[in-house]
């Protein structure tokens, strides 16, 4: 089932048990921010990106190593080398993603990011070392920037796909099939938004962080929040701007976000996360955030 009808989608979703697969990843990988700088093509439709003078490559590398060390305490975490020819590669979850026994390669909108999809080392790791079957969407014409555009409830097999220049209707359908999802809801992002994972997170299948201002139709955001209630954390515009929606649960009891997002989090929303069984763990990532993404964007999950 893939639909724009939120009422029909959630009526169906409420019949599904959380038995589709593990709610959190077994491992993860990162790509180091070597050569980290402004990617002018990506800046065309990413309003979160800083000007070129706002990039500090050395600080970004230091913060990324800290993230790697912190994540390695929770799940096995591999870090691949970066490449100055692909300055956005620090955000690999847009390009590579996994589902049970297979890995998916996304079709990126901009040529500077399409180069990332050709990386033999990551493909060889996922296909050779992990022995996952390949689903390569990178050469077809429809943009589908994987778990940047598609937020997945892995426990239930549900997809929540934000449409923008980075993902069209056909791209959403291709991802729905590639991940073998039970149902996917598609919706338009608000003007100026590029990825659903900046405005929405599903945490271990039992909670959601939602930023209504990132949706073209705030009724869709309300429907998502209603589905995950009482474990629905609704963000203010200030929390949204600080990347609080770009969070991830790597285990059943912790939600990770950047220090900037953590500082912006309203105490009531922190209490709601605690009531849902999550503590917040934060890492300084302001140098990385100059690239227009935050913590969740840096993490490619391995299921």
Reported as a single tens digit per residue, the pLDDT across 182-234 is: 999 999 999 999 899 999 999 999 999 999 999 999 999 999 999 999 999 99
Q: What pLDDT is attached to residue 43?
A: 46
Judge whether residue 37 has pLDDT over 80.
Answer: no
Q: Exposure of 240 by Cβ count < 10 A (0-12 exposed, 13-18 middle, 19+ buried)?
A: buried
**Is the confidence at residue 2, as pLDDT, over 70?**
yes
SS3 letters for 226-245?
A: HHHCCCEEECCHHHHHCCCC
Question: 34 pLDDT band (50/70/90 cuts)?
Answer: confident
Q: Show contacts of 40-45: CB within 8 Å, 24+ apart.
A: 41/110, 41/111, 41/112, 41/113, 42/88, 42/110, 42/112, 42/113, 42/292, 43/292, 44/110, 45/109, 45/164, 45/165, 45/166, 45/194
d(CA 300, CA 303): 10
Question: For the whole model, what pTM was predicted?
Answer: 0.93
Question: What confidence category does residue 45 fall into, taking pLDDT thresholds of 50, 70 and 90?
Answer: low
Mean pLDDT of the chain: 93
Give the count of beta carbons closer than 10 Å to the beta carbon of residue 230. 9
Q: What is the pLDDT of residues 280-295, one digit of tens each?
A: 999 999 999 987 889 9
Does position 145 have pLDDT exceeding 80, yes or no?
A: yes
Note the pLDDT of residue 154. 98
Per DSSP, what are the bridge partners of residue 207?
A: 203
What length does the chain have?
Answer: 303
CA proximity to 215, closest of 293, 257, 163: 163
Q: In this prediction, what percent of the chain has a pLDDT beyond 90?
A: 84
Task: Provide the pLDDT for residue 292.
Answer: 80
Least confident interval from 49-53, 80-84, 203-207, 232-236: 49-53
From the number of C-beta atoms within 10 Å of its C-beta (0-12, 13-18, 19+), residue 53 rates as: exposed
Q: Is residue 81 pLDDT above 70, yes or no?
A: yes
Mean of the pLDDT values across residues 157-179?
Answer: 97
């Amino acid at each position: 089932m893939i639909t724009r009808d939120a009422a029909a989608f959630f009526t169906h979703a409420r019949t599904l048990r959380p038995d589709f697969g593990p709610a959190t990843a077994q491992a993860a990988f990162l790509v180091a921010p070597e050569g980290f700088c402004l990617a002018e093509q990506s800046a065309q439709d990413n309003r979160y990106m800083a000007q070129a003078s706002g990039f500090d490559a050395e600080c970004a590398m230091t913060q990324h190593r800290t993230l790697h060390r912190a994540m390695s305490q929770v799940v096995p975490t591999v870090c691949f080398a970066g490449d100055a020819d692909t300055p956005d590669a620090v955000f690999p979850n847009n390009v590579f993603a996994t589902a049970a026994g297979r890995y998916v390669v996304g079709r990126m909108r901009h040529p500077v990011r399409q180069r990332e999809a050709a990386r033999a080392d990551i493909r060889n790791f996922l296909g050779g070392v992990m022995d996952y079957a390949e689903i390569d969407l990178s050469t077809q014409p429809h943009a589908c920037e994987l778990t940047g555009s598609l937020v997945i409830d892995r426990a239930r097999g549900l997809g929540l796909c934000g449409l923008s220049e980075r993902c069209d209707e056909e791209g959403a359908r291709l991802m729905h099939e590639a991940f073998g999802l039970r149902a996917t809801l598609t919706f338009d992002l608000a003007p100026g938004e590029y990825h659903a994972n900046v405005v929405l997170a599903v945490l271990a299948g039992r909670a959601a962080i939602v930023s209504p201002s990132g949706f073209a139709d705030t009724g869709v955001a309300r429907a998502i929040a209603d589905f995950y209630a009482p474990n629905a954390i609704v963000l203010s515009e200030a929390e949204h701007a600080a990347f609080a929606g770009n969070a991830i649960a790597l285990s059943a009891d912790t939600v990770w976000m950047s220090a900037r997002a953590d500082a912006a989090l309203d105490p009531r929303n922190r209490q709601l996360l605690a009531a849902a069984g999550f503590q917040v763990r934060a890492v300084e990532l302001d140098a990385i955030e100059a690239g227009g993404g935050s913590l969740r964007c840096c993490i490619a999950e391995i299921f």
